[in-house]
């Protein structure tokens, strides 16, 4: 069973999540710069953050499936589980924006990010448990970003209870450290190609 249709479906869902968030941007009633900043300024910033997050998941998803894992029923549902958490981004982003980064909405946004991270981890596990998956497990052996991210999300959730705006800092930090896509996969593919050449 090939992964091409799973990838196409995931691409579709991620593409729509990104675009649907723009629908949530309130269009200013007035015609000046002040109206734009007042009505849409915060919304544009939170949209940018969520856009980067979806972009990160798309990049890593893309890299993960370049390892051509075997697809079982378990992998299909682990993937849908990830898409479920990501599909809530437009909702939690809208609440965060409309309440001007209030306490609980910032916590809920962090819980959503954490949920997606855990779902991605489960997907990675489901894939490495397939026959031939040890290969993939080795690629992800030292996954410091994968372990640091949930810690930062939880830090953000705790900080949100103190000062909501502070809670956003770790969320932004995770986005920044993931902006560089998962080099391990590229390195593995290159190493394998070199091996094939010498053999």
Instruction: Give residues in contact with a copy of itself (CB under 8 A).
Output: 1, 5-9, 11-20, 22-23, 25, 27-29, 31-33, 36, 40, 48, 51, 55, 58-59, 62, 66, 72-73, 76-77, 80, 83-84, 87-88, 90-91, 94-95, 98-99, 102-105, 108, 179-181, 183, 186, 189
Measured from the CB of residue 137, what is the shortest distance to a copy of itself in angstroms? 21
Measured from the CB of residue 132, what is the shortest distance to a copy of itself in angstroms? 15
In angstroms, rounded to a whole number, what is the distance separating the alpha carbons of residues 21 and 136? 33
In angstroms, rounded to a whole number, what is the distance separating the alpha carbons of residues 89 and 91? 5
126 or 151: CB nearest a copy of itself: 126
25 or 42: CB nearest a copy of itself: 25
Measured from the CB of residue 78, what is the shortest distance to a copy of itself in angstroms? 11
151 or 192: CB nearest a copy of itself: 192
Q: Which of 92, 118, 79, 81 is nearest to 20 (CA)?
A: 92
Measured from the CB of residue 6, what is the shortest distance to a copy of itself in angstroms? 8
The answer to whether the CB of 13 falls within 8 A of the CB of 87 is yes
76 or 154: CB nearest a copy of itself: 76
Measured from the CB of residue 18, what is the shortest distance to a copy of itself in angstroms? 6
104 or 172: CB nearest a copy of itself: 104
Helix (H) or strand (E) holding 147: helix 144-162
In angstroms, rounded to a whole number, what is the distance separating the alpha carbons of residues 34 and 30? 8
- CA 9 centroid distance within chain: 16
Report in angstroms the alpha-carbon separations of 172 from 149, 167, 178.
Answer: 11, 9, 10
In angstroms, rounded to a whole number, what is the distance separating the alpha carbons of residues 105 and 94? 9
């Amino acid at each position: 069973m090939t992964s091409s249709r799973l990838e196409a479906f995931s691409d579709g869902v991620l593409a729509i999540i990104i675009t649907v968030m723009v629908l949530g941007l309130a269009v200013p009633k007035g015609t000046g710069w002040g109206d734009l900043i007042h009505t849409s300024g915060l919304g544009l910033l939170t949209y940018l953050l969520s856009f980067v997050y979806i972009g990160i998941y798309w990049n890593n998803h893309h890299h993960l499936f370049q390892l051509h894992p075997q697809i079982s029923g378990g992998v299909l549902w682990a993937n849908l589980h990830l898409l479920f958490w990501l599909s809530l981004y437009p909702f939690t982003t809208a609440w965060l924006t409309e309440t001007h980064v209030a306490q609980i909405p910032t916590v809920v946004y962090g819980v959503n990010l954490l949920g997606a991270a855990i779902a991605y981890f489960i997907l990675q596990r489901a894939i490495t448990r397939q026959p031939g998956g040890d290969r993939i497990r080795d690629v992800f052996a030292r996954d410091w970003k994968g372990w640091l991210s949930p810690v930062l999300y939880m830090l953000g959730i705790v900080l949100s209870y103190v000062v909501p705006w502070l809670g956003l800092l770790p969320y932004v930090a995770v986005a920044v450290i993931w902006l560089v896509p998962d080099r391990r996969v590229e390195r593995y593919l290159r190493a394998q190609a070199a091996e094939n050449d010498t053999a």
